[in-house]
Each structure stands twice: as C-alpha cells, then as structure tokens.
Amino acid sequence: MTITDRITNQYGYYTEDYREFVITNPRTPRPWFNYMWNGHYTGLVSHTGGGFSFLDSPRDNRINRMRYNSLPWDRPGRYAIVKDVSTGNYWSLSWAPTIDLNYDKYECHHGQGYTTIITEIYGIRGEITYFVPTDANAEIWRITLTDLSGSDRNLEIYTFTELLMGNALNDLINQPNDKHFTDIHFDVNLQALVATRRYWVLNKGVSVKQPNIDWKYQIYFTQTLPITGFDSSLDTFIGRWRSEANPEAIATGVMQNTEITAGDPIAALQSKLELPAHGTSNFAVILAISPKGDPSPLQKEGQNLANLEHIDRQFAQLKQKWDRHLSAVQVSTPDRNFDLMLNVWNQYQAAVTFDMARNAGYYHGGLLFGTGLRDQFQDILGVVMVDPDRVRRRLLNALRFQFQNGSTLHNFFKLTNTGERTNHSDTPLWIPFGIVEYLNETADFSILDEVVAYHDDSESNAGGTVYEHTIRALDYAIANLGEHGMPKIMTGDWNDTLDYVGPQGKGETTWGAFFLGYVLKKTFPLLELHGDRETLSRFQTVYEQIGQSVNDICWDGEWYLRAFRDNGEPIGISAHTQGKIFLNAQSWSVISGLAPKERGDRALASCQKYLAKPYGMQIVFPSYTEVEDNVGLISRCVPGKKENGAIFNHASSWFVLASLLNGDVDFGFEIYQRMMPLNSSKDMDRYEVEPYVYAEYVTSPDHPTQGQASHSWLTGTAVWMLRIGIDFIIGFQPTLTGMAIDPHIPSGWQEFRAQRKFRGKTLHLHVKNPLGKNSGVSSMQVNGVEVKGNFLDLSLYPETELNIAIAQLEK
Ligand code: GLC
C-alpha cells in the first residue's frame, strides 16, 4: 500500500492493518484520547500524554488528577521530560506540556490498549509507550531513547504525574481541605515513592459530613533507571508561578526530595543517563496500586513489575489479547471504511463502552453517572461474542439493582453499590433485551435459573431467578400503561431530555410503546422454549393491544407522534412549529413490527425527507428554539446539538436498522456510511473529535457549528453500529437455536466474505451477489452441502470450521 492509499486526514492516518491510528500533527482540534485498561485498572491517555487513571471507579477511586475546568486542554498527564545537561534544553517525550518547542518529528500511535508517542528533537529520538498490563493493577510507561546526533549525551530524565488518590468529586469541591490527608514517602528498599491518603470519601452527596475511613490503597511510583532524586510536593516540584511546562526542579536540575504529610501531591522522579553517541537506552516507569497492608506489587513474586523483560512480555500478551478479541469477527467487503470499522475500531470502541459505560471519558468526567442500567444491557452486545463469561457476570451483577416490583435503579456505582431511582420508563425493559441477546449468543439457559436478590429484598427474602427478574421487568412496564394504553413516560424514556413530558404520571410515550412491543416480541421464542405458555399468551395479547392503541391514536398523517404530555397534548406532530417529527418514533414503529407496512414506509420516507443530513439522521426536526416547560431539557438545549436536533448517532443507527428491515437497504446503508467517523469527519477542523470512533452526536445544520462532533467514545452508537453491521448487513443473526444467515447489502456489492466465531465454531461466509440485489438468500451450502433455507442448526455439524456459501441474493 502506498502512502496515498492510506486512509488519512490532515492530522494522521491508519496503518495498513488498521490496527493503529497515527497522529502526525499534534495540534489536533481537541485532545484525541485512547484507553488502556484491564477490567480494574484504567487509564485514559491523550495523544499528548494527558489523562488520568483509576481503579474500578473513576469517581470514588481516582489515582491521578485531570483539570476539568480548563478544557479543551488535557492537563495534567503522565509526563517524561528529558534534559540535556550540557545545553540546559528540556522537552517532553509526549509533546505536551513543552509544546512550544520545535519538534523535528512527532507521531502518536493509538492502538488497542496502548499508545506510543515518538518524538525527535535536539538529536534525541524518544519513544514512550503507555499501557496497562493484563494481569497487574498498574500502568507502564515504556521508554526508549536513542541518540541521533552522533555525540555522547549527558541527560537527566524527569518523570511525573500529579496524584489525586480517592474521591475525584471531593477533590474538585474540597481540595484545600483534602490536602491535609496526603501522605507520601520515598521507600529506599523499593526505590519508589509510596503514596496514600489517610481518608476516603465514598458517599456521593455534597455534604459537610466527613467519613472516618482510610483510603484503602497505596500507590507505588518507580522507574527502572537508578533514581537520583524525587519530589512528592507538587508546589516544590513545580515551583512558584510556574507550570508543568517548566517545573523549577527540572529547570535547576535539583530535586528537593520532598516527602509530604500534607499538601498537593505529585509523584516525580529524577534519573541521570549517559547516552553514548548513536546509543540507545531502554527503561520504564511503573505506577502501581494495591491495597494497604498487601505486599508491594513491585516485589510481588512472579509479577516482576519493574523488570524490563517482564514488561515487554506483558506488552506482547496485551497484543495477543487484542488479536484474539478482534478475531471474533472479520469481514472483507467492497467498502474499505466499513471493514476498518468492523474489523478493528468499532469492535474496540464497543469493548471500551462495555467497561467504561458513559462514565470515564474526556466528555464523561466519571463524576456523575456511574453505570447506567440501560446502557449496560446494550453495551454487552459488543463483547458477548468474545467473552460471554464476563457478560454473564455483568448481567448477574446488574440485576441486583432491580426492585421486587420489576423496576430498577437507573444507574449504579461500583464499589458503593448505590445509585439513583429516577423512574425512566424504559430502563427496566433493557433487562429482557440484554438477557435475550445473551442467550441468542450463548444458548446458556442455565443463567435463567440463577438466583439474584432484588435491591429491596430483606435478608430473609430469597431473591428471584433471572427468569423471574426478566418477566418482572416486563410486567412492571405493563402495569404502568396509561390512559391511551401506552407506557407512561414518567421521568423520560431512552431520550433523557424528554424529562418533563410526564412528571405527574399521566404523559405517555409512543417510542416507549414501540419499544415495549419490540421487547415483548423478543421474549416470545424464549417463553416458548421455556414452556411458559401462560406468560407467552399474556404477552402476545399485550403486544397486539399496544399495536392497536398506537395505530389508533398516534398516527399523525405522515408519521407517528412522539408522546402525550401530562395534559394530554401531543408532541411531535406536523401542526407544531418545533419538534414536529422525532426519529425514534418512526424507526421503532418498523423495528417493533407494529407499523402496518404502508405506515412504516411513510414514516421512514418522512424521516428521509426531514431528518436525513450529510452526516446521518437528525433526531428531531425542527430543533426546539423556544423553551417548552412541559417537554423538558430538550427544549433548553441549543438547537442543533445533543438531543435537541443533533445527528444523534445512537438514534441514527436505529434508523439504519429500520431501513434494512423495511427493505430500504441501499438508503439504510448510505446512512450507515454517512455516520462512519471516517466520513463524518472529512472536514476535520469542523468535526474536531477523534476520527477513529463514533461520537455521541454531530451538530446538525440547525446550529452554526454544524458538523462539529462531541462526546466521542462512550455512546451506545458503538454497539449498535457494530451489531447492525455484523447481524443485519453481513447477516449473521444469532437466535436461541442457532444462526440465521440473512445479509442486507448495498446493491453495488458483488461479493463479500466474513468470518464470525459462534458457540465454539468459526463460521466462514462467502456471499455472491451477481444480480446486484440487496437481500434474500437463494440457496445456501454448508461445507459443500446444500441446506434448506438460510438457518444454521449447529447441532448438525461436528466440525468446528463451517464454510457457508451463498451463490446469489435475490430480493
Ligand atoms: C446518552 C445516555 C443514554 C441516553 C441517550 C439519549 O447517550 O447515555 O443513556 O439514552 O443519551 O438521551
């Protein structure tokens, strides 16, 4: 592949195997982040070395600081500064914070679970790789320095990160007081700074009450070069009226060896390094965390955290882990961008959302949301193909936040196991959605018999089986149908910003009706298999009734209205001047199967007419320009952004799904293409955020910053685009009993291949489309033998590799 063949923009490009996005110009419109994590220890790292880390919970158990209110910067971070003693010049190996220097070279390689930044300046090539090992709660900054000047070099190395240690929300609101509890010393045996805080705020509320507990952890900061000095006082290291760009300790070359028992904390180390002409030096910085009282992770047997060979082995393991992960699905189609997303970045982003929820990003500060239940039960779809055991544990854990009556907390926090009961009407319904999807992938019906306590159970109550939890969620929704026979919207539905439509408990949601219908229908095969005829027929009746009600009262002529307010007035009708047509009410009329074909066609055509924009589908049109108190936050948000009329990618992905299901495959695929960040970020200076992952939204033409994206990384868009791509476009549709093969491809695709792991087997699919059709399997061969229909009953095949061939599509 030549350079011009590469997928590029003016700030960088993808490597040939798509596994890295390489940033070549650090002056990106915003910091472009990556994640490194192992399920417990997590770090966000930007292309300049900025970012923070935490263990388990970004709010309650933060390791280092990030300065939110100085956005759009990404300070502070994890910095390694090299100083040339003979000239006094010093520079950062990650570009920031010494950004005003003239670097001869800068490259940041964001890969899966690691970020490598390469710089050249003052005759030194620096390479720093940040990663989190798979099996230790630590982060490694692996560094290689090479002399390019041809002279012997007398260098000093300064590595530092500002610490937080504990509750990040409290650090924001009470830092002057909180700094009386820090405690850092240099451990001579370990040759490491050892840091802790003598107090831990675990409650969320802003309160003057103080807890009476220790922060449970200790942090260890060391490097593999001999240490010649250290500091743990931020003030001393940085010096008066300076910043991390020019710390006094570095400028003077003198560390004060401060060990603090109060004050703002930093972990800073100094080493000296003689680098011979053309010579190379390899070393690493290690930041580790472990419970107080445990042996230091630096000395833990078998772990060898501070040993370079061990570190390199761990990095190799990380790469293997991702090779394995991504091998769950690989596609080869005529659309290179589609392949790039599905094979690497979309799978990767979905894995990030599974672990981060909407809770630890540059745009999701990790202070407020915890893990949303609604999000959790969707996010499992991104990793269930790879790691069903983890998903199983996740589901069982999340079910603990359901109440006996079937309702749920809206979100929960790891470590404290607390959350908010907000009464969003859709949240409980994502439980059956997630459980059925898990079963479709795994056929692990044993999960249904697991017993999980309800959140309001007393000690003596035995909880309920997962099956009961699932049914109760639906029964709760059914018990909360309103006057029109549709779900009461309560505090909102999927759309959080319709939060004042029904606070009095009367307002109802059309999208919610379709969604309830969809989820009911999704459970039918399960109820059937479970032999629960009584529930099945009850749910079937409700499904029919909902369809009847919605079609009787919600059809506005060209589309479905969106909701009824408490006072009975509709939202989302053509007679209004703002918020006339909402996307979700149309897409889900089709996805639920509740719209008669003719209405579904017209509803989607109306979306195409009013909502289709260059980067995807606008969520509502026209955006609200005047506040309507009985709608909610949506009308307070500026027009064209967020839920008030942006290209809201999560909702846009559902329109794609509806179009595919409705037979509008070419248009559906076109919207899919428009949404892929490679396309929507074509005007990068407008788009601004990372071009390798989906953003929550792109500003629509209703705002002067049209084309600007925000809230990258943590969005339900990731799993839906991934699964729509795999399940509906490529056509691997797992069911309780096997795998249906049902591609929906653009008519321009003459042929494609794809591979997917499924229940211990690898399915290799080869589809030919000589007639330029969109769907409809003519005939299918499995390992050379013709099968009836397009369904794969795995029990018929002892082989682990199955070659599935489709000679032509015909619809
Ligand atoms: C955000 C929330 C998600 C919600 C969506 C629409 O993405 O994380 O839970 O459904 O906004 O309001």
Tally the residues of the chain.
811
User: From CA 356, how far away is CA 56, in angstroms rounded?
Assistant: 10
- Bridge pairing between strands 114-121 and 464-465: unpaired
- For residue 6, the model assigns a pLDDT of 78
Q: Domain for residue 639, yes or no? A: no
**458 Cβ contact list (under 8 Å, min separation 6):** none
For residue 715, give the ligand 1 atom closest to its CA: 7
Q: How far is the CA of 272 from the centre of ligand 1 (A)?
A: 50
Residue 309 phi, psi dihedral angles, 5° rounding: -65, -40
Q: How far is the CA of 374 from the centre of ligand 1 (A)?
A: 9
For residue 648, give the ligand 1 atom closest to its CA: 6
**The amino acid at 530:** H
**The amino acid at 587:** S
For residue 716, give the ligand 1 atom closest to its CA: 7
Q: Under a CB-based contact definition with an 8 Å cutoff, are residues 230 and 270 in contact?
A: yes
Q: Under a CB-based contact definition with an 8 Å cutoff, are residues 124 and 82 in contact?
A: yes
Q: Under a CB-based contact definition with an 8 Å cutoff, are residues 125 and 148 in contact?
A: yes
Residue-wise DSSP of 651-711: HHHHHHHHHHHHT-HHHHHHHHHHHSHHHHTSSHHHH-S-TTS-EEEE--TTSTTTT-EEE
User: From CA 209, how far away is CA 680, in angstroms rounded?
Assistant: 48
List the residue whose alpha carbon is closest to atom 6 of ligand 1. Answer: 495
List the residue whose alpha carbon is closest to atom 5 of ligand 1. Answer: 495
User: From CA 429, how far away is CA 435, in angstroms rounded?
Assistant: 10
How many other CB atoms are there within 10 angstroms of residue 96's CB atom?
A: 22
Mutate to test the pocket of ligand 1, among 373, 375, 713 (most ligand atoms within 8 A of CB): 375
Q: How far is the CA of 694 from the centre of ligand 1 (A)?
A: 14
How far lies 634's CA from each of 196, 204, 565, 612, in Å?
Answer: 43, 26, 14, 20
Establish how many alpha carbons lie within 13 A of residue 605's alpha carbon, considering only the half-sphere containing its beta carbon: 8
For residue 496, give the ligand 1 atom closest to its CA: 12
User: From CA 557, how far away is CA 486, in angstroms rounded?
Assistant: 19
User: From CA 644, how far away is CA 633, in angstroms rounded?
Assistant: 9
- Mean per-residue pLDDT pooled into runs of 10, the chain (811 residues): 69 96 97 97 98 96 91 91 98 97 98 98 98 96 98 98 96 92 97 96 76 94 98 98 97 98 97 98 98 91 85 97 98 97 98 96 91 98 98 98 98 92 97 98 98 92 94 98 98 98 98 99 98 98 98 98 98 98 99 98 98 98 97 98 98 99 98 96 96 98 98 98 98 98 98 98 98 97 97 96 98 97
Q: How far is the CA of 496 from the centre of ligand 1 (A)?
A: 6
**502: which 2 tokens?**
């029904």
Domain, as residue range, for 244? 19-324
Q: How far is the CA of 363 from the centre of ligand 1 (A)?
A: 13
For residue 79, the SS3 value is strand
| Chain Cα centroid distance, residue 252 | 43
List the residue whose alpha carbon is closest to atom 9 of ligand 1. Answer: 375
Q: Under a CB-based contact definition with an 8 Å cutoff, are residues 746 and 666 in contact?
A: yes
For residue 374, give the ligand 1 atom closest to its CA: 9
User: From CA 53, how far away is CA 758, in angstroms rounded?
Assistant: 34
For residue 369, give the ligand 1 atom closest to its CA: 8
Q: How far is the CA of 426 from the centre of ligand 1 (A)?
A: 11
How many other CB atoms are there within 10 angstroms of residue 460's CB atom?
A: 5
**150 Cβ contact list (under 8 Å, min separation 6):** 123, 277, 278
List the residue whose alpha carbon is closest to atom 10 of ligand 1. Answer: 494
Q: Which residues pair with 786 in a beta bridge?
A: 781
Q: Domain for residue 646, yes or no? A: no
**385: which 2 tokens?**
């193909």
Q: How far is the CA of 495 from the centre of ligand 1 (A)?
A: 6
Instruction: Return the H-helix or E-strand segment holding 551.
Output: helix 533-553
Q: Which of 146, 80, 147, 109 is nearest to 12 (CA)?
A: 109
Q: How far is the CA of 556 from the centre of ligand 1 (A)?
A: 26
Q: Under a CB-based contact definition with an 8 Å cutoff, are residues 119 and 106 in contact?
A: yes
Q: How far is the CA of 494 from the centre of ligand 1 (A)?
A: 6
Q: What is the sign, positive or negative, of the torsion defined by CA atoms of 744, 750, 755, 759? A: positive
| Helix axes of 649-662 and 583-591: crossing angle, nearest 10 degrees | 40
- Bridge pairing between strands 761-768 and 801-806: parallel
Q: How far is the CA of 290 from the centre of ligand 1 (A)?
A: 34
List the residue whose alpha carbon is closest to atom 7 of ligand 1. Answer: 715
- For residue 1, the model assigns a pLDDT of 45
How far lies 532's CA from each of 223, 404, 537, 692, in Å?
Answer: 61, 20, 9, 45
Q: How far is the CA of 34 from the centre of ligand 1 (A)?
A: 21
Q: Under a CB-based contact definition with an 8 Å cutoff, are residues 808 and 770 in contact?
A: yes
Q: Which of 748, 764, 722 is nearest to 809 (CA)?
A: 748
How far lies 399's CA from each of 403, 431, 802, in Å?
Answer: 9, 8, 36
Q: Domain for residue 48, yes or no? A: yes
**622 preceded by a cis bond (ω within 30 of 0):** yes
For residue 494, give the ligand 1 atom closest to its CA: 10
- For residue 204, the model assigns a pLDDT of 62
CATH number for 783: 2.60.420.10
Q: Domain for residue 433, yes or no? A: no
Q: Under a CB-based contact definition with an 8 Å cutoff, are residues 200 and 216 in contact?
A: yes
For residue 492, give the ligand 1 atom closest to its CA: 12
Q: Angle 604-608-613 (CA atoms, 0-180°, nearest 5)?
A: 140
Q: Domain for residue 609, yes or no? A: no
Q: Which of 216, 238, 114 is nearest to 166 (CA)?
A: 216
For tokens 């309830």, name the residue. 516
pTM of the prediction? 0.98
Q: How far is the CA of 360 from the centre of ligand 1 (A)?
A: 15
For residue 696, give the ligand 1 atom closest to its CA: 7
Q: Domain for residue 716, yes or no? A: no
**97 preceded by a cis bond (ω within 30 of 0):** yes
Q: How far is the CA of 149 from the centre of ligand 1 (A)?
A: 53
Q: Which residues pair with 286 in a beta bridge?
A: 140, 222
**704 preceded by a cis bond (ω within 30 of 0):** no
Q: How far is the CA of 642 from the centre of ligand 1 (A)?
A: 10
For residue 495, give the ligand 1 atom closest to its CA: 12
List the residue whose alpha carbon is closest to atom 8 of ligand 1. Answer: 358
CATH number for 236: 2.70.98.40
For residue 372, give the ligand 1 atom closest to its CA: 9
Residue-wise DSSP of 764-781: EEEEE-TT--SS-B--EE
For residue 375, give the ligand 1 atom closest to its CA: 9
How many other CB atoms are there within 10 angstroms of residue 554's CB atom?
A: 24
**The amino acid at 122:** Y
Domain end among 276, 291, 324: 324
Q: Domain for residue 470, yes or no? A: no
Q: How far is the CA of 344 from the centre of ligand 1 (A)?
A: 24
Q: Under a CB-based contact definition with an 8 Å cutoff, are residues 61 and 74 in contact?
A: no
According to DSSP, residue 408 is labeled B
**571: which 2 tokens?**
């939202």
Q: Which residues pair with 647 in a beta bridge?
A: 618, 698
Strands (E), 385-463: 411-412, 419-420, 451-452
For residue 711, give the ligand 1 atom closest to its CA: 7
- The total number of structural domains that make up the chain: 2
**The amino acid at 774:** N
Q: Angle 69-173-256 (CA atoms, 0-180°, nearest 5)?
A: 80
- Neighbour-count burial of 310, counting CB atoms closer than 10 A to its CB (0-12 exposed, 13-18 middle, 19+ buried): middle
Establish how many alpha carbons lie within 13 A of residue 597's alpha carbon, considering only the half-sphere containing its beta carbon: 4
| Helix axes of 346-356 and 308-326: crossing angle, nearest 10 degrees | 110
Domain end among 324, 348, 380: 324
Q: How far is the CA of 690 from the centre of ligand 1 (A)?
A: 20
Q: How far is the CA of 301 from the centre of ligand 1 (A)?
A: 44
User: From CA 635, how far away is CA 352, in angstroms rounded?
Assistant: 31
**568: which 2 tokens?**
């009975």
User: From CA 166, how far away is CA 168, in angstroms rounded?
Assistant: 6
**481 Cβ contact list (under 8 Å, min separation 6):** 487, 488, 508, 546
Q: How far is the CA of 648 from the centre of ligand 1 (A)?
A: 10
Q: How far is the CA of 651 from the centre of ligand 1 (A)?
A: 10
For tokens 């898990």, name the residue. 438
User: From CA 455, how far away is CA 463, in angstroms rounded?
Assistant: 9
Q: Domain for residue 170, yes or no? A: yes
Q: Under a CB-based contact definition with an 8 Å cutoff, are residues 217 and 195 in contact?
A: no
Q: How far is the CA of 239 from the centre of ligand 1 (A)?
A: 43
Mutate to test the pocket of ligand 1, among 358, 408, 635, 653 (most ligand atoms within 8 A of CB): 358
For residue 358, give the ligand 1 atom closest to its CA: 8
Domain end among 294, 324, 354: 324
Q: Which of 420, 537, 409 is nearest to 473 (CA)?
A: 409
Q: Under a CB-based contact definition with an 8 Å cutoff, are residues 498 and 492 in contact?
A: yes
Strands (E), 699-760: 709-712, 732-735, 738-741, 751-758
List ligand 1's pocket residues with C-beta within 6 A: 358, 372, 374-375, 494-497, 643, 696, 715
- Neighbour-count burial of 585, counting CB atoms closer than 10 A to its CB (0-12 exposed, 13-18 middle, 19+ buried): buried
Q: How far is the CA of 715 from the centre of ligand 1 (A)?
A: 8
**616 Cβ contact list (under 8 Å, min separation 6):** 647, 649, 652, 671, 674, 675, 680, 698
For residue 651, give the ligand 1 atom closest to its CA: 6
Q: Under a CB-based contact definition with an 8 Å cutoff, are residues 81 and 93 in contact?
A: yes
